[in-house]
Structure 1
Amino acid sequence: MSPAATAVAVPTKPVRARLEEAVERLLIILDTLDGDPDFEDGADAEPSLGAPEGHVSHLVWLHGTDSDREVEHRAPVTAADVFAGMAATLADPGRWTKGAEARNAAGECVPATDPRAVCWCIYGARRIELAKVKSAALRRRLDDETDEMLHGAAGGAAPSAVNDGPSTSHTDALDLIRRAGLQHNSI
């Protein structure tokens, strides 16, 4: 066989970009079909070398920047840690939303742990904090504990109803998280 017959065609840059986008879309479809792996008994038992959560897409993360900083994603171990993480996630008003657990840059509803998510409701922010917890037992305990505290801080109302209320502001949402965290400190 001649060398020309065994050569592999290398796609041009525009073709490669379209292929990357197609693969990204297929991975998103597979992830959606599989459900959220962070709430399985094995938690997220994947290697830590994947793209970190909170990026618009894996491709954006892959291409990177000229920055050499690493972000540490410490898993919460107490309800106070969960509330602190929620407050940090929602600190910027542009990262808070109503009517959906999370939204992508186009404003479409996506799961909170979707890498395309750019803004979250109170429960979406809580979900991304809980997704960092590797121990299923600890994650369940923190889920129950923080849910109860959010309901208490909301005066028994559903925190999602407070978040999505027509008159609820970004400041109101952060205040609900703060009040729930204060309940933790009084226990």
Structure 2
Amino acid sequence: MSPAPATAAPPAEPFRARLEEAVERLLVILDTLDGDPDFEDGADAEPSLGAPEGHDNQLVWLRGTDSDREIEHRTPTTAADVFAGMAATLADPARWTKGAEARNAAGERVPAADPRAVCWCVYGARRLELAKVKSAALRRRLDDETDEMLHEAAGWAAPSAINDGPSTSHSEMLDLIRRARAI
């Protein structure tokens, strides 16, 4: 009689959350490399594949809609897009850091676009958004424009110094991004 096959225990919740985050970061990188799927022939003409749970009428679900409810990582084309992406990246306080552009789950410094990154500073979040821009000319323009807007919103202080300040809070960083976007 052969021994029963060993089964792996499910990963602990914090470990699983880190794995999910790493997979999401890898998908963002792949999406960035593949370009915007909405520029394909037919754009978003494909039917939606999602069926919301608790849907009262299965016939409506069966027919589908033209609503695409996938979360997509669009390529920024304006400074406002960059700031919106930064705000989304840093929305959760656990995804914000000080003293490094980005950090992995072990707290080690990593480049902003590193798939192991799980938290970013204000400039790391900006660099992450700019990494999605394929056009070098557009990326340079958005880099210059968003840098100047962040400095202006910070009263011409260094945004990185504000980010890393010992008394700076997560909500203050999000407010800085909102002010920069409004310029």
Q: TM-score range by the shorter chain?
A: 0.5 to 0.7
Alignment of 1:27-42 (within 5 A): none
SS in 2 for 1:106: coil
- Structure 1 position 73, deviation (Å): 1.5
2:82 maps to what in 1?
82
Distance between the aligned counterparts of 2:70 and 2:117, measured in 1?
20
Distance between the aligned counterparts of 1:127 and 1:71, measured in 2?
20
Distance between the aligned counterparts of 2:146 and 2:75, measured in 1?
15
- Confirm or deny: 8 A CA contact 1:54 1:117 kept in the other structure: no
2:20 maps to what in 1?
none
1:52 maps to what in 2?
27
Over residues 98-130 of structure 1, what are the superposed CA-to-partner deviations in whole Å (9 max), with x where a residue is unaligned?
A: 000000000000000000000000000000100
- Confirm or deny: 8 A CA contact 2:101 2:123 kept in the other structure: yes
Distance between the aligned counterparts of 2:71 and 2:115, measured in 1?
15
Matched letter for residue 170 of structure 1: H
Distance between the aligned counterparts of 2:29 and 2:75, measured in 1?
15
1:58 maps to what in 2?
none
Runs of 4+ in 1 over 6 A off after TM superposition: none
Cα 1:100–1:145, aligned 2, differ >3 Å: closer, same or farther? same
TM-score normalised to the size of structure 1?
Answer: 0.62
Q: What residue ranges of structure 1 are gaps of 5+ in the alignment?
A: 1-50, 56-66
- Confirm or deny: 8 A CA contact 2:28 2:73 kept in the other structure: no
Q: Give me the CA root mean square deviation.
A: 2.3
- Structure 1 position 52, deviation (Å): 1.8
1:101 maps to what in 2?
101
- Confirm or deny: 8 A CA contact 2:150 2:177 kept in the other structure: yes
1:163 maps to what in 2?
163
Identity, % of aligned positions: 81
- Structure 1 position 54, deviation (Å): 7.0
Cα 1:112–1:153, aligned 2, differ >3 Å: closer, same or farther? same
Distance between the aligned counterparts of 1:167 and 1:93, measured in 2?
15
SS in 2 for 1:143: helix
SS in 1 for 2:113: coil
Aligned length: 124
2:58 maps to what in 1?
none
Alignment of 1:1-187 (within 5 A): 51-53=26-28, 71-183=71-183
SS in 1 for 2:107: coil
Over residues 56-94 of structure 1, what are the superposed CA-to-partner deviations in whole Å (9 max), with x where a residue is unaligned?
A: xxxxxxxxxxx9x96422100000000000000000000
Distance between the aligned counterparts of 2:72 and 2:175, measured in 1?
26
Matched letter for residue 27 of structure 2: P
- Confirm or deny: 8 A CA contact 1:54 1:118 kept in the other structure: no
